């Protein structure tokens, strides 16, 4: 029996000016602002909004319902999650998925995991951190779960 093969590529994406994309990527039903860079092996799903002047490094996964502000950096292998498994298993029903909002000038280090949260402007998330709660104070956060390491001046 032959497998079912699906190919996404770049489908129904709204781009701003001067966007650079290194393929292969899966981008669909999303919005990417001006002056952005999207690295290879990245997936950006439907209903994602990425602001202007953002850099999304390779191997990152940005799931449905994520909004990223302007001037953000998303490191290699960053994973966004929209399902908090409240029903004890993956929620196949998209109405159960949660949203994530990332403010302006946020940098997220490589291999961080971002659960459904809100992150304010001017935040640095350390590499490998797991963000499980909203961040409302500008600063540097690291660890699992991520905690405030120091304030930004």
Place of tokens 């929620």: 91
Known catalytic residues are 59
Q: Does the pTM exceed 0.85? A: yes
Containing structural domain, residue 131: 10-83+98-151
| CATH number of the domain that residue 19 is part of | 2.160.10.10
Give the number of domains in the chain: 1
The one-digit pLDDT tens for each residue of the chain (153 residues) are 999 988 889 999 999 999 999 999 999 999 999 999 999 999 999 999 999 999 999 999 999 999 999 999 999 999 999 998 888 999 989 999 999 999 999 999 999 999 999 999 999 999 999 999 999 999 999 999 999 999 987
Do the domain assignments include residue 93?
no
CB 131 within 8 Å of CB 98? no
Identify whether 3 is part of a domain. Answer: no
Q: Is beta strand 25-28 parallel, antiparallel or unpaired with respect to 31-32? A: unpaired
Q: Contact at 8 Å (CB) between 141 and 119? A: no
Answer yes or no: is 61 within a domain.
yes
Could you tell me which of 25, 17, 59, 34 has the C-alpha nearest to residue 49? 34
Handedness of CA 27, 94, 107, 120 (dihedral sign): positive
Report the pLDDT value the prediction gives residue 5, as an integer from 0 to 100: 85
């Amino acid at each position: 029996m032959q497998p079912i093969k699906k190919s996404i590529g770049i489908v129904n994406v709204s781009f701003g000016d001067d966007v650079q994309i290194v393929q292969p990527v899966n981008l669909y039903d999303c919005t990417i602002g001006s002056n952005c860079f999207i690295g290879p092996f990245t997936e950006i799903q439907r209903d994602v909004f990425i602001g202007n002047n953002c850099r999304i490094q390779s191997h990152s996964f940005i799931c449905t319902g994520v909004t990223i502000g302007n001037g953000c950096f998303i490191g290699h292998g960053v994973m966004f999650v929209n399902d908090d498994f409240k029903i004890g298993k993956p929620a196949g029903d998209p109405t159960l998925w949660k949203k994530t909002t990332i403010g302006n000038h946020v940098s997220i280090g490589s291999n961080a995991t971002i659960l459904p949260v809100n992150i304010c402007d001017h935040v640095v998330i350390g590499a490998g951190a797991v963000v499980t709660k909203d961040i409302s104070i500008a600063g540097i956060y690291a660890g699992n779960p991520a905690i405030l390491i120091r304030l930004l001046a």
